[in-house]
Structure 1
Amino acid sequence: MTPAADPDSSLDRQPETGLRADAERNRERILAAARRLYASHGLGVSMACIAREAGVGKATLSRRFATPEELINAVFADRMDAYAAATAEALADPDPWHGFTSYIHTVCAMQAADRGFADVLTMTFPAAKALEGRRAEAYDGFLELIARAQATGHLRADFTPQDLVILLMANAGVVAATQDAAPDAWRRLVGQMLRAYAVPGTDLPPLEQAPAHTALYRAMVRLTRPAAGPHGDVERPDGR
């Protein structure tokens, strides 16, 4: 005789992710909430704030993502793919100098569009293996991009990969400081830095207009205030 079906057996059938359907829905809600909050407030958003935004308890969040690094790895997987793809696209450009400048603009624009990603590119996450793997892939491609651009005689011979890190740190700071008051200020920074990287006489696109004095003043005033989280709470420096 065929045994009667267990009425609760459907709860044990899990999707490919290995999570029950309700757990998978919670996971997607957490990821969506984290994407929104990281994009607008950076990686300083606490795990508790993300749980609140997602409408789940802290225990539920910790079961899905035990550490902030695990959550960051999941949230930014697609953006790290795009970051690596930007390097490949720049290397495919038949004009190495144009490929180099396009890459700088593309990556800095990605930072400007997502404060969390701006932070990701200036920090390391040893436990986030997939994220760090894509970063390493992009870095190796950038080394080749530098060599090609320097071989054209347009990129200064003393430009180093560390200069990109410095630029990304500076751009992350500008994005965070001016996102409301002067959201295009980063373009001015990138334009000025490309002029610093280029050999004199190299063709460069027109420099973006500088932000208005009043806009920068508003940004400076904002920086004097304590950083508030998306729900009005002041975030701790450790993001918890």
Structure 2
Amino acid sequence: MGDVEQMRRPLRRDARERRDKLIDAAQLEFAARGVDASLEKIARDAGVAIGTLYRHFPTRLDLLMAAFEPRLQEFLDGANKALEMADPWEGFVCYLENLFAVQAGDRGFNDFLSRRFPGNAETEHIHDRVCQQIEDVLTRAQEAGEARLDITQADIVNLIWSNGRIIDATSATAPTAWRRQLYLMLDAYRAERAHQIPEPPMTDEQLYDAMVHLSEAK
């Protein structure tokens, strides 16, 4: 039997069960510890050897993507709803609230949103899609005269980073504190609040490099 045919064969029931247990354990551990959580602990929690984990998921990113699939779909569904709203400002607000609500519920997904993983086509595609959504929802609000014109995609990513720190600090004591910060910033983003800012926004290249740096620094 050729290699291609072997790759297409479905997993045996026991192998499928081990894979599902690894994904379940990874979802819990990444949510609690972030994307740098111990793979050895995930394997132990799933009741398998670390070699079994690597047979199913050769890289950490492979396991991350399998574990994040439900959370990512939740986010994308909310994003599509926001982009379809008739009121551009309400769509902008809805998009950010959905993004931060998903971010708040999963430390690993929080990490994933904040970083870039160059060299991995799947994660690059997802991040490009998220960045395009940010651009679309922001541009709609700006063209409607609701959002200040000097906000850029980089400003929104900066907000994601700062919100991540707020979530880390408050998740155990005030798990919805992030909503206050979001709405304070939304108030500052309104067109009528605009005034000259002495610091220019980051360029797309600076933003990308900063997200890669966060990934490499861990």
Tell me the TM-score normalized by structure 2. 0.80
Shift in Å, 1:129: 3.2
Equivalent of 1:87 in 62, 79, 87: 79
Match of 1:76, SS?
helix
In the other structure, the counterpart of 1:65 is 57
Q: Once the two structures are aligned, what percentage of the paired residues are identical?
A: 36
Contact 2:148 2:193 in 1 (8 A): no
1:54 and 2:57 matched? no
Tell me whether 75-84 or 151-160 shows the greater mean CA deviation: 75-84
Larger radius of gyration between Structure 1 and Structure 2: 1
In the other structure, the counterpart of 1:119 is 111
Contact 2:79 2:95 in 1 (8 A): yes
Matches of 2:13 and 2:119, distance apart in 1 = 27
In the other structure, the counterpart of 2:24 is 32
Equivalent of 1:159 in 151, 160, 167: 151
Change (3 A) 1:201 1:67: closer
Matches of 2:162 and 2:181, distance apart in 1 = 8
Contact 2:83 2:95 in 1 (8 A): no
In the other structure, the counterpart of 1:174 is 166
Matches of 2:78 and 2:118, distance apart in 1 = 23
Q: How many residues are treated as equivalent by the alignment?
A: 191
Q: Deviations over 1:68-120 (max 9, x none)?
A: 11111111123223333333211211000100011111100111111111111
Matches of 1:43 and 1:197, distance apart in 2 = 31
Contact 1:38 1:115 in 2 (8 A): yes
Contact 2:187 2:193 in 1 (8 A): no
Q: Greater helix percent: which structure?
A: 2
Shift in Å, 1:134: 2.9
Match of 2:58, SS?
coil
Contact 2:79 2:98 in 1 (8 A): no
Contact 1:122 1:169 in 2 (8 A): yes
Shift in Å, 1:65: 1.1
Moved beyond 6 Å, runs of 4+? 14-17
Change (3 A) 1:54 1:17: farther
Match of 2:77, SS?
helix
Tell me the TM-score normalized by structure 1. 0.73
In the other structure, the counterpart of 1:221 is none
Matches of 2:128 and 2:85, distance apart in 1 = 21
In the TM superposition, 1:196-215 aligns within 5 A as: 196-200=188-192
The amino acid across from 1:153 in the alignment is G
In the other structure, the counterpart of 1:190 is 182
1:98 and 2:90 matched? yes
The amino acid across from 1:140 in the alignment is Q
Shift in Å, 1:17: 6.3
